[in-house]
Amino acid sequence: MSMPTVFVSHGAPTLILQESPARTFLASLGQLLPRPKAIVAVSAHWDTDVPAVSLARRPDTIHDFYGFPDALYRLRYAAPGAPELAERVARLTGAAHDAHRGLDHGAWVPAMLGWPEADIPIFQLSVQPEQDPAHHIALGRKLSALREEDILVMGSGSATHNLRALVRGGAASEPEPWAREFDDWLVDTVEKGDEAALADYRARAPNAVDAHPTDEHFLPLHVAYGAAGEGARGRALHRSFTLGNLSMASYAFG
């Protein structure tokens, strides 16, 4: 059985400290999936002009945020890197090398919840916000053979991501219609495996500009979808909202 690819919504960095349906789901991820030999993490928080891979043998835990509780900055995820696999991914994709890049919170938060033992090698592949979703589907497709080797491609971003529309301090607030409509469109489109619609979501999805004023948090989904191979379909693993309009939906593709 091939390893599925996944897209997870990682939320705010404090997700790892605060109980929520999305945290509970991510903490079950290691049990829901076959155990991977390694993880290729595609995080919204590493963006480059051209694809790049991280080659660090012992990736640092990057605390790429400000003004959060001290407990968050004390967390460390001590998983090993996978420089040889990263080199191979670079050859497959034409990616540049970054010898020192660690794990940003888009990578280490879901990894720490899903695989808390930190014993699975992990490294990052960057996204290119100046490129369109079709570029990222094609980027992911170059990784599709990794599924047969029990290597997990994990996109990490957000199913909706409009920071101005968040309800601060309102974790249980109901999402506005625009957010729910986009979220419903996404699950339907993913389940159909409609590549054309995913690639052209700005024109085809309802409320796309409200759901994603910028692309970077959505592009990891396109990479994960592409990495599942031609004709892939997806299924929702989890759906919830937090802070009003922030969708925490996560998907598996295969």
Backbone angles phi, psi at 47, to 5 degrees: -120, 140
Residue located via tokens 């990052």: 124
Average pLDDT score over residue span 153-180: 90
**Which residue in 202, 222, 217 sits closest to 247, CA to CA?**
217
53 vs 45: CA distance, rounded Å: 13
136 vs 133: CA distance, rounded Å: 5
Are 204 and 197 in contact by the 8 Å Cβ rule? The answer is yes
Residue 125's CATH number? 3.40.830.10
Interval 41-62: pLDDT, tens: 999 999 999 999 999 999 999 9
- Asked whether residue 187 carries a pLDDT value surpassing 70, the answer given is yes
Mean pLDDT, all residues of the chain: 96
**Which residue in 152, 226, 155 sits closest to 2, CA to CA?**
152
Average pLDDT score over residue span 182-211: 98
**Structural domain of 12:** 5-253
Interval 50-100: pLDDT, tens: 999 999 999 999 999 999 999 999 999 999 999 999 999 999 999 999 999
pTM: 0.97
- How many Cα atoms occupy the beta-carbon half-sphere of 105 within 13 Å? 20
Are 10 and 64 in contact by the 8 Å Cβ rule? The answer is no
Q: Which two tokens stand for residue 54?
A: 């991280």
- pLDDT, position 230: 95
- Asked whether residue 226 carries a pLDDT value surpassing 80, the answer given is yes
Q: How confident is the model at residue 243 (pLDDT cuts 50, 70, 90)?
A: very high
**Which residue in 43, 8, 18 sits closest to 126, CA to CA?**
43
**Which residue in 94, 117, 131, 105 sits closest to 214, CA to CA?**
131
- Asked whether residue 170 carries a pLDDT value surpassing 90, the answer given is no
Q: Which two tokens stand for residue 192?
A: 């159909």
Percentage above 70 pLDDT, the chain: 98
- Asked whether residue 1 carries a pLDDT value surpassing 90, the answer given is no
Are 22 and 11 in contact by the 8 Å Cβ rule? The answer is yes
Interval 144-155: pLDDT, tens: 999 999 999 999
Number of structural domains the chain divides into: 1
23 vs 213: CA distance, rounded Å: 25
- pLDDT, position 173: 83
Interval 122-146: pLDDT, tens: 999 999 999 999 999 999 999 999 9
- pLDDT, position 168: 73
Q: With both helix axes pointing from N to C terminus, report the angle between 219-227 and 133-141 in degrees, rounded to the nearest 10.
A: 30
- Asked whether residue 224 carries a pLDDT value surpassing 90, the answer given is yes
